[in-house]
C-alpha cells in the first residue's frame, strides 16, 4: 500500500461526546435542579414560622428554578471552541535561504576597486 503525502491526518481527540452521554448528562442536571427545588420548598415550609425572610427566599428559588432547569435541559449539545482543530495539515516545507542582496555585493566590489586604485 502506498502512503499519500497529500492526505491530511484527522485527530479524534476533538470529537464531541456521544448523543447518549449528552442526553444522560442533561437529564442528570435536570434531576439535580429539581431536587434543589424540592429541598427549597421543604426549607420554606420548615422555616415559615421561624425565619420568614429565609423562607421567602427559598420559596422564590423553588418557584424560579423549574424555568432555569428547563432552559438548561433543552440547551442541546455543547460546542466547544477551545478544542484543537481536528484536521492537521501537512507540515510546511523548509525554506531555502535567499541569496545575498545585489546591493551588498556591488558595494564590496566598489570598495575593492577603490582600494586597487589608491594603491596604484
Question: What is the predicted pLDDT for the residue at 49?
Answer: 92
At 103, is the pLDDT very low, low, confident or very high (cuts 50, 70, 90)? low
* C-alpha cell at position 79: 460546542
Question: What is the predicted pLDDT for the residue at 26?
Answer: 86
Question: What is the predicted pLDDT for the residue at 81?
Answer: 56
Q: What are the domain boundaries of the chain?
A: 1-90
Question: What is the predicted pLDDT for the residue at 44?
Answer: 93
Q: What does DSSP assign to residue 88? A: E
Position of cell 576597486?
A: 113
Question: What is the predicted pLDDT for the residue at 35?
Answer: 92
Question: What is the predicted pLDDT for the residue at 38?
Answer: 93
Distance set, CA 68 to CA 29, 40, 41, 63 (Å)? 11, 15, 16, 10
Give the contacts of 76 (CB within 8 A, at least 6 positions apart): none
Q: How far apart are CA 84 and CA 15, in angstroms?
A: 10
Inform me whether the pLDDT recorded for 32 exceeds 80.
Answer: yes
Judge contact between 34 and 69, C-beta under 8 A.
Answer: yes
Query: Of the given ranges (15-24, 45-54, 81-90, 106-115), which has the lowest mean pLDDT?
Result: 81-90
Global pTM value: 0.50
Across 44-68, average pLDDT: 91
Amino acid at each position: 500500500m502506498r502512503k499519500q503525502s497529500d492526505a491530511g491526518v484527522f485527530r479524534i481527540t476533538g470529537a464531541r461526546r456521544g448523543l447518549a452521554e449528552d442526553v444522560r448528562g442533561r437529564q442528570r442536571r435536570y434531576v439535580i435542579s429539581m431536587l434543589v427545588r424540592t429541598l427549597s420548598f421543604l426549607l420554606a415550609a420548615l422555616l415559615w414560622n421561624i425565619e420568614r425572610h429565609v423562607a421567602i427566599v427559598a420559596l422564590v428559588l423553588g418557584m424560579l428554578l423549574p424555568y432555569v432547569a428547563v432552559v438548561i435541559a433543552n440547551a442541546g449539545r455543547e460546542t466547544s471552541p477551545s478544542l484543537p482543530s481536528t484536521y492537521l495539515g501537512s507540515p510546511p516545507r523548509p525554506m531555502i535561504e535567499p541569496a545575498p542582496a545585489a546591493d551588498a555585493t556591488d558595494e564590496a566590489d566598489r570598495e575593492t576597486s577603490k582600494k586597487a586604485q589608491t594603491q596604484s
